[in-house]
Amino acid sequence: MLYYHATIPQFTKMLGNMSAILDKAAKSASERNFEVSVLLQSRLAPDQFNFIRQIQILCDTAKSGVALLTEKEAPVHADNELTLGELQERIKSVITYFNSFTPTDFEGAAERRVTRPRWEGKTLSGEEFLHQYVLPNFYFHFTTAYSILRHNGVGVGKKDFLGDMPYKK
């Protein structure tokens, strides 16, 4: 149950937050009278991936992390997005994929051995994989995408990053 709650609701929420941030980016480009493609190709450093690639990796990290923890197939994306609308569709498809999961899908996830092709035969336990790879990688790419937009003058702040909070009175 812990692995479900650490992934599905949180990734769904954060991808929804990113979708709303993309809407703000489109609005900002329109109001400031420039092509939104400028934002999509932006990066914080010359050797860093551009905004589009940050969103692609953000989605891939979430969906492949969940797939490997549950031993289910993840949707395949061609990495050919060129517009905000196409990035929105990618985010939406990952959220739709997450809607198919239940807590029982994560039974045994902590002990499951996980590997990736570039790890050259090395493995992590599901617990190590989630906490030391998936979650940090997800938030790294989310933060980088957010920072690219903020650096380029899109009016986003911490509330956009965090999204709605489940406050109670």
| Domain-located, residue 10 | yes
Give the chain's domain count. 1
Residue 67 pLDDT class (50, 70, 90 cuts): very high
123-164: pLDDT as tens digits: 999 999 999 999 999 999 999 999 999 999 999 999 999 999
Nearest to 25 by CA among 168, 160, 135, 166: 160
CATH of the domain at 71: 1.20.120.450
Q: Is the separation of the CB atoms in 143 and 160 below 8 Å? A: no
| Domain-located, residue 167 | no
| Domain-located, residue 145 | yes
Compute the distance between CA of residue 39 and CA of residue 24 in angstroms, rounded to an integer: 12
Q: Considering the chain, what percentage of its residues have pLDDT values greater than 90? A: 99
Q: At what angle do helices 51-70 and 84-98 cross, to 10 degrees?
A: 10
| Domain-located, residue 147 | yes
Residue 23 pLDDT class (50, 70, 90 cuts): very high
| Domain-located, residue 169 | no
> What type of residue is 3?
Y
| Domain-located, residue 46 | yes
Compute the distance between CA of residue 138 and CA of residue 147 in angstroms, rounded to an integer: 14
Structural domain including 157 reads: 2-161
The mean pLDDT value for 86-104 works out to: 98
The mean pLDDT value for 84-100 works out to: 98
Strands 124-125 and 113-114: antiparallel
| Domain-located, residue 96 | yes
103-130: pLDDT as tens digits: 999 999 999 999 999 999 999 999 999 9
- Is a pLDDT exceeding 90 seen at residue 1? no
